[in-house]
Chains A and B, each alone.
Chain A
């Protein structure tokens, strides 16, 4: 799932997702409406995908 608008909305509930002043690729953004986390996968224009779930091989 992805989102190609310049003012991104939540992929679950369509609430507008607030962006940091300077979004980075890989930023995790939470929806204020439903809490769904998204990952920034493109910055020009902003494109979001659902954030990856923590996996068993994540860590230091």
Chain B
């Protein structure tokens, strides 16, 4: 496949989000097409014209990381950058980056053994959340509040992963949320919409059935997003914030590089795809010195 396009939208599959993005990119006057990994071969092998920008939308993390790395080595700009993708795909790296850049984050420890997990849960007062490094959509996240729960987690883990290949994990301070997370979408360096993801348990992702309640973007949310952008670089992010109902402190829980937005957009009404397309258009024209 050798068709040229200004923007290549790399996908595992085209979901409603990617269809919206393709439409919005074309509406700016750019040419855009989707591509499965196999369709990047000719570009990477210098047998097809290079796109001016690659929008990374692979829903498979393995595919996303590999695709980001290949375009990085080929010298083709991607959104998000490979640096941001690496940080977003690994909760251990995020925790380290947050700590080094003063981004408020729940107290988080990286653990490589069951014994380390036990010690860190104790350090956190016996109430902690264990998260896989690369989990998404809330998968694999458990809260431990007593010894019996810890033993159940450790026993299940030993049965499924006797060699410990799924370590490390992160052991994180439990934040008593008021029944919701706050999701802020950032495009470039600007937060463009905020909404609550309302759910009863630990998982409030809209993918897990969490309800969406639009809210204004608060000054505190803007400040936290600015700190994230200073650390990750400008890009397209879904930033999850959580406020402790006990202390009122607000934390950045995590930054998502490939945020879902089709369902929530129907409720808050902000044209996220249009914002992303305008940002891509401006960055493409800025890099070629042509006025938008």
A60 touches which one: B19, B35, B238 (CB < 8 A)? B238
Most interface-central of A42, A52, A57 (chain B CB within 10 A): A57
CB < 8 Å: which of A24, A27, A52, A56 contacts B12?
A52
Interface bits A17-37 vs B (CB < 8 Å: 1, else 0):
000000011111000000000
Please determine whether A59 and B13 come into contact, CB atoms closer than 8 angstroms: no
B 126-156 contacts with A by CB, 8 A? 134-137, 139
Contact (A58, B12) CB under 8 Å given A25-B34, A25-B39, A41-B38: yes
Q: A55 to chain B: which residues have CB within 8 Å? A: 60
Closest residue of chain B to A25 (Cβ to Cβ) is B34
Does B243 belong to the interface (CB within 8 Å)? no
- Name which of A25, A57, A59 has the most chain B CB atoms within 10 A of its CB: A59
A45 CA to B205 CA in the complex, in Å?
A: 38
Partner of B61, one of A39, A41, A51, A59: A59
Q: Say how far A24's CB is from chain B's closest CB, in angstroms.
A: 5
Once A41-B36, A59-B136, A60-B207 are accepted as A-B contacts, the answer to whether A24 and B14 lie under 8 Å apart by CB is: yes
Measured CB to CB, the closest approach of chain B to A58, in angstroms, equals 5
Complex CA distance for A52 and B13, rounded to whole angstroms: 8
Q: Which residues of A contact B135 (CB under 8 A)?
A: 59
A28 to B1, alpha carbons, bound, how many Å? 20
Which residue on chain B has the smallest CB distance to residue A37?
B13
Once A24-B34, A26-B34 are accepted as A-B contacts, the answer to whether A57 and B61 lie under 8 Å apart by CB is: yes
Residues on A with C-beta less than 8 A from B256 are: 60
Query: Which residues in chain B, 42-60, are within 8 Å of chain A measured between CB atoms?
Result: 59-60
Q: How many A-B residue pairs have CB under 8 A?
A: 66
In the complex, what residues of A have CB within 8 A of residue B257's CB? Answer: 60
| Contact in complex: B13, A51 (CB < 8 Å) | yes
Contacting residue for B13 out of A28, A42, A57, A60, CB 8 A: A28
Least Cβ–Cβ distance between B35 and chain A, in angstroms: 6
Chain B 22-42 interface residues, beta-carbon cutoff 8 Å to A: 22, 33-36, 38-39
A15 to chain B, nearest CB (A): 21
The answer to whether B13 touches A26, judged by C-beta atoms less than 8 angstroms apart, is yes
Closest Cβ neighbor of B206 among chain A residues: A60
Contact pick for A25, options B35, B139, B258, B259, CB 8 Å: B35
Instruction: Give, as a whole number of angstroms, the nearest-CB distance from A41 to chain B.
Output: 6
Q: Complex Cα distance A42/B61, Å?
A: 23
Which residues in A have their C-beta under 8 angstroms from that of B12? 26, 52, 58
Q: Which 6 A-B pairs have the closest CB atoms?
A: A59-B136, A26-B14, A60-B256, A57-B61, A59-B137, A26-B11
What are 12 contact pairs spanning A and B, CB under 8 A? A24-B18, A25-B34, A25-B36, A26-B11, A39-B13, A41-B36, A42-B1, A56-B139, A57-B136, A60-B136, A60-B137, A60-B205
Starting from the known contacts A26-B18, A57-B62, A58-B60, 5 additional A-B residue pairs (CB-CB under 8 Å) come to A25-B35, A26-B34, A39-B36, A40-B14, A57-B60
Residues of B whose CB lies within 8 Å of any CB of A are 1, 11-15, 18-19, 22, 33-36, 38-39, 59-62, 134-137, 139, 205, 207, 238, 256-260
